[in-house]
Amino acid sequence: MTLRLAVALDSASFDAGEWAGWVRRADEARLDFVTFDDRFGKRGPDAVLTAARVAPLTRHVGLVPVATTTHTEPFHLSTALATLDYVSKGRAGWQVRVSADPAEAALLGRRDPLQVPALFEEAADAVEVVRRLWDSWQDDAIIKDVPTGRYIDRDRLHYVAFDGKYFSVKGPSIVPRPPQGQPVVAALAHSPEALVFAGKSADLVFITPSDVYSAEKIKSKLDPALKVYADIAVFIGDDALVRRGSATSDAAVFAGTAAQLADLIAAWAASGIDGIRLRPGDLTEDLTRITDDLVPELRRRGLFEPSSATTLRERLGLPVAVNRYEGAVRA
Amino acid sequence: MPKQIILAAHFPGVNNTTVWSDPRAGSQIDFDSFEYLARTAERGLFDFFFLAEGLRLREQRGLIHDLDVVGRPDTLTVLAALAAITTNLGLAGTLNATYHEPYELARQLATLDHFSGGRAAWNVVTSPGAFFGENFRRGGFLNHEDRYVRAAEFIQASRTLWDSDGNDFSVKSSQFAIEGRFGVPRSPQGHPVVLQAGDSVGGRELASQHADAIFSRHHQLEDAQEFYQDVKQRVIKHGRDPGSLKIIPGVSYVLGDSDADAQEKAHYIRRQQVSPQTAILLLEQLWNTDLSGYDADGPLPATDPVLDEDDTIIKGRAGMYPDRLRTAAEWRATAEAKNLSIRDLIIEVTGRQNFIGTPSRIAEQLNEYVQTDACDGFILVPHLTPAGLDDFVDQVVPLLQERGVFRTEYSGGTLRQNLGLR
C-alpha cells in the first residue's frame, strides 16, 4: 500500500526566496502537501500569507497554513483560506490551532484566555462558521444575465446565520465558493480534547505516536473517514545522530539514513494510517534528504507514488465536497 | 524639474463602474485576473496596485444587491500572492480599522513588506455602521467620532509594533491594551505606506496627522485644488512637511482616436454601466425609498426623497448624498431642461468618467492636475476586468514619459522611496 507524504515547515525566516526554495523542492519531489507552522507569539511570518506568497510559484503541492481560532475573526479566516484556495487553484488547507497562552492573549488584548475545553468548543464553532461561509455561495451563483441586469442570482447565496456561545456571523461570504468547495481542514491532536475536536471538525488529523503500536491504537479509535497522518521529527544522513544531539519533540524523533527512515515508514504503514508528516530537524539539510534520498527510496519500495490529482482534497482521497445549501430554499 | 506623477491601478469591483456585461469582461475572483492587472501595471511602471476589502455583501431594499459585480477575495492573501509575480510594484490594500486588531494586522502587513521587499501599503478605512458588525465577533459598531479615534490609535499602535524590532512593546490607549513581543523584525520600509480614504473633517485630520497618502475623490480641478490646499495646511499645522502626504484621487478615463470618438465610447460605456435596473437602484440611493414600481425610461418621481439617515435603503456603502433634497432638486432641473428619462438622467449625473479624450489630451489633463496642485497622482479605476488598463499603459504612459513627468524605469527602491516619501 502507498502512503501520502507531507512535510512540516517551521521557520522564523522572513526571506521569501528561502520559503519559495523549500516549497518548490517539496513541489518538485511531488510531496502531497506542506504545512506552515504559526502562533501569534512566535517569531516568524504569518503562515497564511507565507502560503499565498509561494502559491503562484508551485503547481502540485498542497499548502496548509496554521491559523489560530482563539483571537481571530472566523469571517476573516474563511475569506483568507478561500482566497488561498483561489491563488493556489485548489491546493489550500488549514491546520486549526487554539491558543491557551496568556502571553498570546496579551498580544491581542481582546480577552483573557479560555480554559482548554472552551477553546476547543470555540474552535469547533469557528470551523463550522468557516465551512458554512465557504458554502454560502453556490457554485453557479454568478449568472451574468444581461436581460434582467443581474450579475448574481441571490437565491443561490445563503446567510449562514450562525449564532453561538462565542460569536455570531450572518454571512454570506464575500468570496465565491472556493475551487475545492471545502479546503482541507486539519488539526494536530495530542490530547483527548483535540482528538474529539478533530473527529468532529477536521478532515485530517496529525497524531504523534511513539511507535507503530501506539499509531495503530490511536487510529483504531478514530472515525474511519478521518484521514490520519503520523508525525515524525527527522534528522537524515550520515551525521544525523550528531545533528539530532539531545533534540526532543512531542512526536517520535528519528535519526539515521534515508533507507532506515524508509524501513520505519514501511513498518508504520501497517498501522493503517493514511500518511506521514515529516518534520525536518533542519529545513535545508533534512528537506533535501527527504526529497533527494527518501522519496526515491519510498518509490522504489512502492510506499509512495506521486498523485496526479489537481486538488488537495482529491489527492488526499477526500470526497468531492457537497454544498450544504445546494437545493436549499433561501429563507 | 516638474512634479512627477504617481500612478496606481485599482482592481475593479463592487459598484456599477465595473462593466460585467461586456464580452471581454473576465473573472472577478480567479487569480489570473489579479495577476494580469498587476503585470500590466508593472509593465506601465506604476507605483502601486490597489485592492479594496469586502466585509459584507451590499444590500438594498433588504436584499443582497445583485446588479453589480459581487464577490471578491481577501485583500492580504491576494497581495501576498502578487508579491511572488511582481518585482517593483507597490501592493496596497484596504483594511478596516474597526474589524481588524493591531497585533494581527501589523504582523500581516510587516510580513507582506518583508515578502515583497518593501512594497506593502495599507489603506485605513473606518466602518460606516452596524451592518458589517453582524459578520464579526465585536458586532455592533462605533459612533462616528470613535471610529476616527480607533483608526488613529490603530495606526499609532501599528507603528509602535513596527518600531519595536524584537523588543517588548506596550500599548495602552482608549481602544487598545496590548503588550508583549512583536514577532517580526523591522521590515524593509520600516513602516508600510499608510493611505487614508475618508473625506470628512475627521478623515482629513486623521490623514494629515498619520497618513502618507490620501485616496481622495475630488475630481473637478478647482474643487481638487481647494481640497489639496486644505489638507496640506492641516499637514503643516500638525508640524509635518507638506510633501510627506500625497494626494491621489481615484479616477476613471476613456481613450479614443479623436475626442469625439472618446465621448461616444464614454457614453456607450455609461449605458452599459447603467442598465434600466441599475438606474432605478441608483435613484433609490438618493430617494432613499423603494422605487421598484418606476419605469427607468419614464420621468423622475414627483415625491421628495425620504430623509432618514439612520435607516438608509442601501446598506454597506458609505453615504453619498449629504443633502438629499438639494441634490434631488438639481436632478429634477437637469431632467426637465434636457428632457431626460430616469436612466438617461442617471447616466448624466452619476459616475461620469473623469478624463475622456485622445491619449495626448488625457496626458495633458493629468499633468495639468498634478502641476497645478490639484493632486499628486491618480489611482486609475478601469471599467473592465482585467484588461481595462492596457490602453492607458500602451498609449498614455509613453506620453507622460515624453513630458518628463513619469519614470522611464523603476529605481529599484521601496514603494516609500518610489512615492518620494521618507
The B314-315 sheet, strands edge to edge: B63-64, B59-60, B314-315
- Interface contact A150-B35, CB threshold 8 A: no
Q: Which residues of chain A have pLDDT under 70?
A: 328-331
Contacts of residue A18 in chain B, CB cutoff 8 Å? none
Kindly list the residues from chain A whose CB atom is less than 8 angstroms away from the CB atom of residue B185.
14, 43
Give residue limits of the domains in chain B: 6-256+354-418, 275-349
How would you write A279-296 as a 3-class SS string? EECCHHHHHHHHHHHHHH
Does residue A191 have a known ligand-binding role?
Answer: yes
The beta strand positions in A184-226, using DSSP E, are 184-188, 204-207
Give me the phi and psi of A4, to 5 degrees please.
-90, 150
Phi, psi angles (nearest 5°) of residue A309: -65, 145
Residue B321 forms contact with A (CB below 8 Å): no
pLDDT at B354: 93
| Interface list for B 107-166 with A (CB within 8 A) | 107-108, 111-112, 114-117, 134-137, 139, 166
pLDDT of residue A251: 96
The CA distance from A192 to the nearest CA of chain B, in Å, is 28
CA distance A108 to chain B (A): 6
Upper half-sphere CA count for residue A27 (Cβ side, 13 Å): 20
> If 0-12 CB within 10 Å is exposed, 13-18 middle and 19+ buried, where does residue B242 land?
middle
Taking the CA of residue A76 and the nearest CA in chain B, the distance in Å comes to 8
Please state, in angstroms and rounded to a whole number, the distance separating the CA atoms of residues B82 and B32. Answer: 10
Q: Collect all residues of chain A within an 8 Å Cβ-Cβ radius of residue B137.
A: 73-74, 110, 166-167
AA letter at B266: A
**Predicted-complex ipTM score:** 0.97
Residue-range definition of the domain harbouring residue A150: 12-31+38-193
pLDDT score at B45? 98
At A75 the three-state DSSP class reads helix
B76 in contact with chain A, both atoms CB, cutoff 8 A: yes
Distance, in angstroms, between B20 CA and closest chain A CA? 7
pLDDT of residue A149: 93
- Return the C-alpha cell found at A167: 460569536
Output the pLDDT for position B327: 93
C-alpha distances in Å from residue B23, one per residue of A146, A223, B276, B390: 11, 49, 19, 16
Which residues of chain A make contact with B276, given a CB cutoff of 8 A? 149
> pLDDT tens string for chain B (422 positions)?
899 999 999 999 888 899 999 999 999 999 999 999 999 999 999 999 999 999 999 998 889 999 999 999 999 999 999 999 999 999 999 999 999 999 999 999 999 999 999 999 999 998 867 889 999 987 766 777 788 899 999 999 999 999 998 899 999 999 999 999 999 999 999 999 999 987 888 889 999 999 999 999 888 999 999 999 999 999 999 999 999 999 999 999 999 999 999 999 999 999 999 999 999 999 999 999 999 999 999 999 999 999 887 778 888 777 778 899 999 999 999 999 999 999 999 999 988 889 999 999 999 999 999 999 999 999 999 999 999 999 999 999 999 999 999 999 999 899 999 999 98
Residues of A in contact with B54 (CB under 8 A): 79, 174-175
CA distance linking residue A257 with residue A231, whole number of Å = 18
Output b/e per residue, B336-353; b: 16+ Cβ within 10 A.
Answer: eeeebbbbbbbbbbbbeb
How many domains are contained in chain A? 1
B135·A48 Cβ contact <8 A: no
Contact list in B for residue A172 (CB cut-off 8 A) is 57, 64
Residue of A nearest to B96 (CA): A76
Task: For domain B6-256+354-418, give the fold.
Answer: TIM Barrel (3.20.20)
Q: Is B324 on the interface with A (CB under 8 A)?
A: no
Q: Which of B66, B111, B278 sits opposite A49 (nearest CB)?
A: B111
Question: What is the domain-level CATH number for residue A94?
Answer: 3.20.20.30
Give the residue among B13, B17, B65, B15 at the shortest CA–CA distance from B34: B13
What's the pLDDT at B128?
64
CB interface of B with A, residues 233-252, below 8 Å = none
pLDDT at A331: 43
CA–CA dist B400, B403 (Å, integer): 5
Cβ–Cβ gap B31/A86 under 8 Å:
yes
> Rounded to a whole number, what is the distance in Å from the CA of B171 to chain A's nearest CA?
10
